Amino acid sequence: MPIEKETEQKIFEAAQKIFQKSGFEGARMQEIADEAGINKSMLHYYYRNKDTLFMTVFQSSVKKIMPQLFGTLASDIPLREKVEQIVEFYHDMFLKNPQLPAFVIYEMNQHPQRFKDFIGSMGVQLPEVFIDQVEDAVDSGKLRSITGDQFFMNVVSMCMMPMIARNMVQTVLQLTDDEYIDFLNERRKIIPSVIFNGLII
């Protein structure tokens, strides 16, 4: 008898894969069961119903994206390093889990009310340290006038958009899969540079 992964764990991983691929509405319980290589009623045994299974997967996904981001933002390092760390983190994460950002953002849009409590309860909000850091840099004349919110938005946009809109961008730019990976990796250096220095020499 081969030592198998726990059934519950197999279900979770299968659900993660199928939900990320098809979204909540598009995912089929049977497909998840097939992917996990078990009977459909197992899904209900371990996770009462589709909603519970989905929420388990979704919450785990959010935890892969958020805490590290806000941890870095709250840390005691210079602004430029924060940006560099965040850019590296998101690009590393994408290589491991390309569908994750699109999944979280789409489902978040579908049921905003449902998740606001959850997100809120995670203590996920822009750290004061970071806001102050941007404010101080602006006040002391080191940065052009900008709010912490907008600064944050710029960094996250430049990182995540190419991951979320991958298929559209890849089609428009006519890149192969490998070329797209290269394209993304180039951005590790481009993003901090554009954010801080802009393009004009």
CB closer to DNA, 30 vs 125: 30
The continuous run of DSSP H or E covering 114 comes out as: helix 112-121
CB atoms near residue 90 (< 10 Å): 24
**Residues of this chain that bind DNA (CB under 7 A):** 1, 7, 27-30, 38-42, 44-45, 48-51
Contact string (CB under 8 A) for a copy of itself, positions 1-40, x = contact: ---------------------xxxxx--------------
Q: How many angstroms separate the CA atoms of 166 and 179, rounded?
A: 12
CB of 107 to DNA, least distance (A): 15
Q: How many angstroms separate the CA atoms of 37 and 125, rounded?
A: 39
| From the list a copy of itself, DNA, none, partner contacted by residue 50 (C-beta under 5 to 8 A by kind) | DNA
Q: How many angstroms separate the CA atoms of 18 and 27, rounded?
A: 6
CB 69 within 8 A of CB 119: no
CA angle 51, 57, 59 (to 5 degrees): 95
Give yes or no for residue 131 binding a copy of itself (CB under 8 A).
no
Q: How many residues bind a copy of itself (CB under 8 A)?
A: 60
CB of 74 to a copy of itself, least distance (A): 13
Task: Give the interface segment with a copy of itself, choosing from 2-10, 30-38, 47-55, 166-174 (CB under 8 A).
Answer: 166-174
CB 90 within 8 A of CB 160: yes
Among 174, 176, 177, 178, binds a copy of itself (CB under 8 A): 174
Question: Which residue has tokens 């203590």?
Answer: 123
The continuous run of DSSP H or E covering 103 comes out as: helix 100-110
Considering only residues 92-121, where is the footprint of a copy of itself by CB under 8 A?
102, 104-106, 108-110, 112, 115-116, 119-120
Q: How many angstroms separate the CA atoms of 98 and 67, rounded?
A: 18
CB of 168 to DNA, least distance (A): 25
List interacting residues with a copy of itself (CB under 8 A).
Answer: 22-26, 102, 104-106, 108-110, 112, 115-116, 119-120, 124-126, 141-144, 146, 149-154, 156-158, 160-162, 164-169, 171-174, 183, 186-187, 190, 193-201
